[in-house]
Homo-oligomer: A and B are copies of this chain.
Amino acid sequence: MTAVQNEIERRGSRIFELVDKHPQPLFSKAGLYQRLMALSMRDEQFKVQLFRFVDVLPSLRHPREIIGHLNEYFSDDGFGPFVGTGIRLARIVPWVSGPILRWNVSGMAHQFIAGKNSDDVIKTLRKRRSQKIGFTVDLLGEAVVSEADADEYAARYLDLLEKLARETKNWTDPLGKNSELFPVVNLSVKISALYSQINPADPADAIAHLAPKLRPLLRRAREVGAFINFDMESYAHKNTTLELFKTIFREEEFKNWPHAGIVIQAYLRDSEADLRDLIEWGRKRGTRFAVRLVKGAYWDYETTKSLQNGWDCPVYFQKPESDANFETLTRLLLENESIVTAAFGSHNIRSIAHAQAFADELGLDPSRFEFQLLYGMAGPIKRALVEMGYRVREYCPVGELLPGMAYLVRRLLENTSNEGFLRAKFAENVSAKELLRDPTELIKPAVAGIGDPGGSASADGKNSTSLDIASADVYRNSPLVNFAYKDSQEKMQGALREVRKRFGEKYPLVIGGEKVWTDQLTPSVNPSAPDEIVGYGSEAGIPEAERAVKAAREAFGKWSRTPFEERAHLLERAADIMERRRYELSAVEVFEVGKPWNEADGDIREAIDFCRFYAQQMRRLGRPKLTQRVPGEDSYHHYWPRGVTFVIAPWNFPIAILCGMASAGVVTGNTVIMKPSEQSIVCGAMLMQVFEEAGVPSGVLNFLSGHGSVIGAHLVDHKDVDLIAFTGSREVGLKIWESAGITRPGQRELKRVICEMGGKNAMIVDSDADVGEAVGYSIYSAFGFQGQKCSALSRLILLQDNYDRVMERLIPAAASLRVGNPEEPGIMVGPVIDEAAYRRILDYIEVGKSEATLAYQAKDLPRQGYFIPPTIFTDVKPNMRIAREEIFGPVLSVLKVRDLDEALEVANGSDYALTGDRRIFLAESGQHRARQSPTGSGKRLHQSLVHRRDCRAPSFWRIQNEWQRHQSRW
């Protein structure tokens, strides 16, 4: 054992001694809370339901709603394991009634909140002052979905600063030493609260918006001698926050101000590099700054998010890894004490003792750094540290009940986490010796599946016993590009430059493996700048269409008998090529159809997934399935290729949908003629290149750009076309369906049509919805990619109970959107596809104005290009045209309804069924209401259909998963 470990143990034991001298419960309030925590630690299922209930409670206004939710969350339907334990809510709260329960749970929340406003908090701070404990104050608040929200936040910070400065004017440093390093007033600022449009792909824009909002606060802080700390939240904003910090504090005005701090999260794999970079920056700057070292409070969020998107996980999987890194960073901070002031944010006595011991070894005075702990928790540790003569600061959240509940849930998670220090010490009485062990000794060797949260998602089938989970068939999407990395941003910029150089190139038809040029060329333009021609497509006529059918028919014989394994491989090779050409293909989409970066990347990802998913499915379908067995006879179900497939694709997912339909045809042993949309010929040509490179045999996949009215109609009616796969408008789809019904002379098969037509998607916001989430998703769904998706939100259905609450945040959120040329990063709303669409959508806006109330319309659009202002109509009735017809643009109709039943009726009252609005399902059985959301095979759900916290809704799984894997480490 090293000398340092000896010293750590000595100091740690001393802290434990002091802690144990004043026995005190883990939480300052006993009763219900203690009981619930104890149950939660014993029963994961109960914990999940309890925390979900706590989360929804603030949204419930009527006692009957509270009771209804209790029944729903704790009923036995769907929670067999929970019931099996014999735990009943009645046993916990036998005196349950709505208001009392609410009051109790609110009490729980207040335990962790230092006050609901600045006046309130002052009382708390005074009390702490008497205990020689300092403070840093944080503002709780709802999600910032608009610039109005952000401005309000900024104003609240300024107000808080003023009040704190005024009230603490005469307070002195508790240690009376090195007090110049530690101003009494200390404000923790959540950067994400100050700008609603932060996009990880565009840090420059974020900084440009954040800096002007921060400067007045910083100036005033300097004036009143306060300290400002930049808090750190999710990884997506980390680089932007660091950049912002380094940028603003090198500005002339703040360059020599020492009272600025930032947070380093030890659970991040790149935290050491970040800290070294910061220290170097600080030395260059020449002025002290501060760092609060924490473990990190978003572990579940980060692991879940990275698994969802297929990203490298930014956090350590094992808790001891974070603990060990915390110590590494502690040493780094203390070694650089000459430029950086350290605050150690942890409740872990080992971590605290380590910092003390190492500081001691360096000969640092204890008054030159501090420990920070959370309000409402770990009181005995704070007291012990004060007794030992250390500097202690309490992190005090201030705010209302609603945002307070979300904070409460984070604290509850922490306190019940399997790996949390407080649980180990105060609930499980783990020995001091064990708790003081060197974390590096506890790190397990990296073994696949151990400590890897990826394993848990599929392994945990607890709540799915009643569902048919064939895990072998489960498909995992390929990763999205993470534009939070500078490297990704640069690659995309590079691809955009490269693709721009190719503007004006010509692309041939491909028939029977040959490139075919025709006299007629169709230009494809950039909708953001219609004078830019992205490329020219060859225009096929009847002779080329005939030639393509012949080629496809000839290739069918051999291809249909090619082993399915070989066909599946072809798709997988195509997927690999698209992976390699990913940025380039995305760039083409940005230019040709005006897709924002991440939407374009999502489209390529979907194309890749179609290939891999269909390959996987083909392996399943390709093997004959035994359906019956009697002696002497086995009956098998086989699938057989149909023949020649004609694929007609739209421009809105120009590579994904074309690829999906074509690759499905090809992998199943059919031969395919694919016609891209006239607006996205270059994307189509790219896909053809991909399949050629992948080695598709001649005639198996043919590329035929041209006019739908000419070659489309001809091929639909063709006697040698056996199957038609179409995605597009209802009008065209119905015509195809009808025409394909006619069996023509010489036709050998009944024609089959796979038809995906229009949508008029609805979202219902129930009365218990999280309004911030609902608004965020609504805005993204309605206006992302200009609403040009079959799955775009077109009808927002609000319960009257909720109407005002939602609308007062929805309009400002829409008004905060960044509209512009999607070639720029971080743009959410670009141009619509072409002039015809532009005129059609403007016409619909006129219709809307005559039918309903124009509640919002954006101004200040780019002057060039087919830009439509995001538009919101209210007072919309179900029979109005804007509520019935597909607009396919950034126009949202808001319908107000009485209750959920009417909401479902309105949602269902549409001619359109795509992405599920016709499929809302309501089953009333006993007191349990379940709504099931539709899913598409191999496709991710674009939006939550009924936005309501519900036992069966997708969000359930998200939440449950986060919670079950939780490892909190403040």
Question: Which residues of A are in contact with B by a Cβ distance under 8 Å?
Answer: 303-305, 307-308, 453, 457-458, 464, 466-471, 473-477, 561, 620, 623-638, 640, 734, 737-743, 748, 750, 755, 911, 919, 921, 923, 932, 934-941, 954-955, 957-958, 961-962, 965
Besides the known contacts A453-B631, A476-B629, A631-B965, 14 further A-B residue pairs in the complex with CB atoms under 8 A apart? A304-B631, A307-B630, A467-B625, A467-B636, A469-B625, A628-B935, A631-B957, A631-B958, A632-B957, A633-B954, A633-B957, A638-B935, A640-B919, A737-B750
Known: A739-B741, A741-B741. A962 touches B632 (CB 8 A): yes
Whose C-beta in chain B lies nearest to the C-beta of A460?
B629
A557 to chain B, nearest CB (A): 11
A562 to chain B, nearest CB (A): 10
Contact A457 B631 (CB under 8 A): yes
A305 surroundings in chain B (CB, below 8 A): 632
A474 surroundings in chain B (CB, below 8 A): 626-629
A475 surroundings in chain B (CB, below 8 A): 627-628
Query: What is the CA–CA distance of A954 and B308 in the complex, to the nearest angstrom?
Result: 47
A737 to chain B, nearest CB (A): 6
A320 to chain B, nearest CB (A): 22
Most buried by B among A471, A473, A629, A921: A629
A201 to chain B, nearest CB (A): 21
Contact partner, A937, options B561, B635, B911, B940, Cβ 8 Å: B635
Contact B741 A631 (CB under 8 A): no
Query: What is the CA–CA distance of A627 and B636 in the complex, to the nearest angstrom?
Result: 23
Known: A737-B741, A741-B740. A468 touches B623 (CB 8 A): yes
* 10 closest cross-chain pairs (CB), A and B: A741-B741, A632-B958, A635-B935, A304-B631, A307-B631, A468-B623, A469-B626, A738-B741, A468-B625, A631-B961
A938 surroundings in chain B (CB, below 8 A): 627-628
Contact A457 B629 (CB under 8 A): yes
Most buried by B among A464, A634, A755: A634
Whose C-beta in chain B lies nearest to the C-beta of A954?
B633
A936 surroundings in chain B (CB, below 8 A): 635
Query: What is the CA–CA distance of A636 and B939 in the complex, to the nearest angstrom?
Result: 11
Contact B628 A476 (CB under 8 A): yes
28 example contacts (A-B, Cβ-Cβ < 8 A) are as follows A303-B631, A304-B631, A305-B632, A307-B630, A308-B631, A453-B631, A457-B631, A467-B625, A467-B636, A468-B624, A468-B625, A468-B626, A469-B625, A473-B625, A475-B628, A627-B937, A628-B935, A628-B937, A630-B940, A632-B962, A635-B939, A635-B940, A636-B935, A640-B919, A640-B921, A737-B750, A738-B742, A740-B741
Query: What is the CA–CA distance of A623 and B468 in the complex, to the nearest angstrom?
Result: 6
A826 to chain B, nearest CB (A): 24
A458 surroundings in chain B (CB, below 8 A): 629
A623 surroundings in chain B (CB, below 8 A): 466-468
A294 to chain B, nearest CB (A): 23
A620 surroundings in chain B (CB, below 8 A): 468
Query: What is the CA–CA distance of A304 and B911 in the complex, to the nearest angstrom?
Result: 55
SS of A interface (majority): mixed
Contact partner, A470, options B625, B741, B748, B932, Cβ 8 Å: B625
Contact A633 B940 (CB under 8 A): yes
Whose C-beta in chain B lies nearest to the C-beta of A738?
B741
A453 surroundings in chain B (CB, below 8 A): 631
Query: What is the CA–CA distance of A303 and B755 in the complex, to the nearest angstrom?
Result: 50
A748 surroundings in chain B (CB, below 8 A): 911
Contact A561 B923 (CB under 8 A): yes
A923 surroundings in chain B (CB, below 8 A): 561
Contact B743 A476 (CB under 8 A): no
A753 to chain B, nearest CB (A): 9
A921 surroundings in chain B (CB, below 8 A): 561, 640
Whose C-beta in chain B lies nearest to the C-beta of A937?
B627
Whose C-beta in chain B lies nearest to the C-beta of A955?
B632
A622 to chain B, nearest CB (A): 9
A689 to chain B, nearest CB (A): 29
A303 surroundings in chain B (CB, below 8 A): 631
A468 surroundings in chain B (CB, below 8 A): 620, 623-626
Whose C-beta in chain B lies nearest to the C-beta of A935?
B635
Contact partner, A477, options B469, B476, B630, B750, Cβ 8 Å: B630
Query: What is the CA–CA distance of A335 and B628 in the complex, to the nearest angstrom?
Result: 49
A750 surroundings in chain B (CB, below 8 A): 734, 737, 755
Whose C-beta in chain B lies nearest to the C-beta of A636?
B935
A780 to chain B, nearest CB (A): 16
A798 to chain B, nearest CB (A): 25
Contact B626 A962 (CB under 8 A): no
Contact partner, A457, options B624, B630, B741, B911, Cβ 8 Å: B630
A911 surroundings in chain B (CB, below 8 A): 748
A739 surroundings in chain B (CB, below 8 A): 741
Known: A304-B632, A629-B474. A638 touches B934 (CB 8 A): yes
A772 to chain B, nearest CB (A): 17
Whose C-beta in chain B lies nearest to the C-beta of A621?
B468
A741 surroundings in chain B (CB, below 8 A): 737-742
Query: What is the CA–CA distance of A766 and B938 in the complex, to the nearest angstrom?
Result: 45
Contact B630 A476 (CB under 8 A): yes
Query: What is the CA–CA distance of A934 and B954 in the complex, to the nearest angstrom?
Result: 40
Query: What is the CA–CA distance of A458 and B245 in the complex, to the nearest angstrom?
Result: 70
Contact partner, A743, options B625, B627, B734, Cβ 8 Å: B734
Contact B630 A308 (CB under 8 A): yes
Query: What is the CA–CA distance of A620 and B627 in the complex, to the nearest angstrom?
Result: 13
Query: What is the CA–CA distance of A640 and B916 in the complex, to the nearest angstrom?
Result: 11
A734 surroundings in chain B (CB, below 8 A): 743, 750
A309 to chain B, nearest CB (A): 8
Contact A632 B954 (CB under 8 A): yes
Contact A957 B738 (CB under 8 A): no
Contact B958 A473 (CB under 8 A): no
Contact partner, A631, options B940, B941, B962, Cβ 8 Å: B962
A640 surroundings in chain B (CB, below 8 A): 919, 921
Whose C-beta in chain B lies nearest to the C-beta of A960?
B632
Query: What is the CA–CA distance of A957 and B634 in the complex, to the nearest angstrom?
Result: 7
Known: A635-B941, A640-B919, A737-B743. A473 touches B957 (CB 8 A): no
